[in-house]
Amino acid sequence: MTEFIRKRTANAKNDILSGITVALALVPEAVAFAFVAGVDPLVGLYAAFMIGLITSIFGGRPGMISGATGALAVVMVSLVAEGNAMGADGENLGLYYLFVTVVLMGVIQMLAGVFKLGKFVRLIPHPVMMGFVNGLAIVIFLSQLGMFKDANGDWFTGNSLWVMVGLVTLTMGIMFGLPKLTKKLPEALIAILVVSAIVIFGNLDVATVGSFIRDGGGEGLKGSLPQFQTDIFSKVPFNLETIKFIFPYALILAAIGLIESLMTLNLVDELTETRGNTNKECLAQGGANIVTGFFGGMGGCAMIGQSLINIKGGGRGRLSGIVAALMLLVFILFASGLIEQVPIAALVGVMFMVVIGTFAWSSFRILNKIPLSDVIVLVAVSALTVIFDLAIAVIAGVIISALVFSWENAKRIRARKRMKEDGTKVYEIWGPLFFGSIIAFNEKFDVKNDPQNVEVDFVESRVSDHSAIEAIFNLVNKYEAEGKSIKLKHLSEDCKILLYKSSPKFREVIVEAIDDPRYHLAENPEAFTKGLSEYKF
């Protein structure tokens, strides 16, 4: 019992310390994404707090961090801009359209969980997963480069640049070296505290969280508890025109949010060698977005960067995410002055270490060891993630992988031809019969020159879809048009049912009472060997 309590206490300590680190890293990210979406920084911070708290408690993956993300923010830009254009100057109507859209986004995500659509993440191939993490690492890296610019958008030069580079390098050095000395201290949190102390006591003139918010047009980090947005019901007309406007945005946001969340869940599963619940995560993400929409947040999803900070900091349980969310609220309510003094360079250094840990460096080593099609998918997904967004990249990667799979399987259709003693010609079909292999399947038959009696044996083939059934239907019609007899053997039960429904004449051509010859071959090894020697494709 003592050992059990000690282990739980150790985990709690790691979760708490890791959660504090994550909360510090969440502040500039949430603020930056709010600026990207064209809304007040507190809208991003409230989203990070509410989504992070709800998904940590009810989500399907302990240790995963959720909040406002850039992938969603870039879609929200045009939504907010179009919404503002619908109202009077200064009315800020786009913000309220954003809240309503986030609520609808949450409803869609909850429906995905109710209908158990989260399991479809298993269909995402490994090259797509590697491309996803590589692309996301590049996106995170590029987003941090903006921190090397001043308020006018000009790159740092001279002393400002060297101080920034030095502090970032120091942060990364602490995070790299501290674990080699001791693993009992959270390297990211220690690095942030050390660099912050150097800046504060050294009175260095560098960008801080406070200056970052003010340069972006914000008034500061301090705020109050999230308030229920009663103005939504008076400012946004609930009619068909509103639905037409917000539904496409809500659908895109829901898809991006679920894809990023479920793929981050898969990544955390691999790192922790545990398994999360995808459908439960869909429900939690949807519920969190509904709540944050009504309480003035911009919506969000899982954050791979912060999730990796948490996992590498020792956070494994739900407590880490809960602490991160609650500490973020504490920062907003009580510690805004202290958090605003944290130098941006320290947080950039942490994120750079996340980039190094996120990127799948092994992908370079295996490029010449995997099929060319997988290389193309990996590179394409990485590039599309950077150029467009995660949803487009993943969907494109899955489509490319599916097309390659279909093409490779389409080439596997074979037909062994032999003559029986009574003059009947037998076609033994091998390989999957589906839409991709129909043309090759039809080319195997010589309807005009075949004898009067023909048998088609599907014992080594699987009839997979309606295109295959249609091909069989057309083949029977061709032979009957030539006045020849054709029999079909060893069709799957579901295929036979569909053929019987399509035409009653199939009851005459499908042979029902027949044994599977493979069983007899297995009982008679000599017959099996002889059968193999006769195969000619």
Give the CATH number for residue 528: 3.30.750.24
Q: Do residues 428 and 346 both lie within one domain? A: no
Q: For residues 316 and 62, is the Cβ–Cβ distance under 8 A?
A: yes
- Same domain? 368 vs 456: no
pLDDT in tens, 17-65: 999 989 988 887 787 778 778 788 889 999 999 999 999 999 999 999 9
Q: Which of 370, 402, 434 is the last residue of a domain?
A: 402
Residue ranges of the chain with pLDDT lower than 50? 1, 4-5, 7-8, 518-525, 527-528, 530-537
Using an 8 Å Cβ cutoff, are 489 and 480 in contact? no
Centroid of chain to Cα 225: 31
Backbone torsions φ then ψ of 431, nearest 5 degrees: 100, 165
Q: Where are the beta strands (DSSP E) in 19-154?
A: 66-67
Residues 418 and 382 both lie in one domain: no
d(CA 397, CA 384) in angstroms, rounded, equals: 9
Number of domains present in the structure of the chain: 2
Distance (Å, rounded) from C-alpha 108 to C-alpha 537?
51
Strands 301-302, 510-511: pairing kind? unpaired
**Exposure on the CB side of residue 469, measured as CA atoms within 13 A:** 16
> Same domain, yes or no, for 393 and 295?
yes
Q: How many whole angstroms separate alpha carbon 471 and alpha carbon 434?
A: 9
Strand order of the β-sheet with 485-489 is: 414-419, 425-433, 453-463, 485-489, 510-511
Length of the chain measured in residues: 537
381 dihedral zone (left: phi>0; alpha: psi -120 to 50; beta): alpha
Do 417 and 441 fall into the same domain?
A: yes
Q: Which of 337, 372, 402 is the last residue of a domain?
A: 402
Same-domain check for residues 398 and 415: no
Predicted structure pTM score? 0.74
Q: 169 and 30 in one domain?
A: yes
Q: Which long-range contacts (CB under 8 A, 24 or more apart) does 230-234 make?
A: 231/96, 232/96, 232/99, 232/100, 232/294
How many whole angstroms separate alpha carbon 489 and alpha carbon 507? 12
For 408-460, write each residue's pLDDT tens digit.
Answer: 888 889 999 999 999 999 999 999 999 999 999 999 999 999 999 999 999 88
Range of the domain at 496: 411-533
**Per-residue model confidence (pLDDT) at position 452:** 95
Confidence at residue 466, expressed as pLDDT on a 0 to 100 scale? 86
Tell me if 474 sits within 8 A of 468, measured CB to CB: no
**Domain match, 332 and 473 both:** no
User: What is the model's pLDDT at position 514?
Assistant: 59
Single out the residue in 402, 424, 442 at which a domain terminates.
402
| 82 and 204, same domain (yes or no) | yes
Fill in the amino acid letter for 44: G
430 in the same domain as 385: no
* C-alpha span between 169 and 195 (Å, rounded): 10
- The verdict on 380 and 419 lying in the same domain is no
C-alpha–C-alpha distance, residues 230 and 509, integer Å: 69
- C-alpha span between 178 and 296 (Å, rounded): 40
Do 338 and 456 sit in the same domain of this protein? no
* pLDDT value for 379: 93
Helices (H), 318-465: 318-333, 336-339, 344-358, 362-366, 372-387, 390-410, 438-443
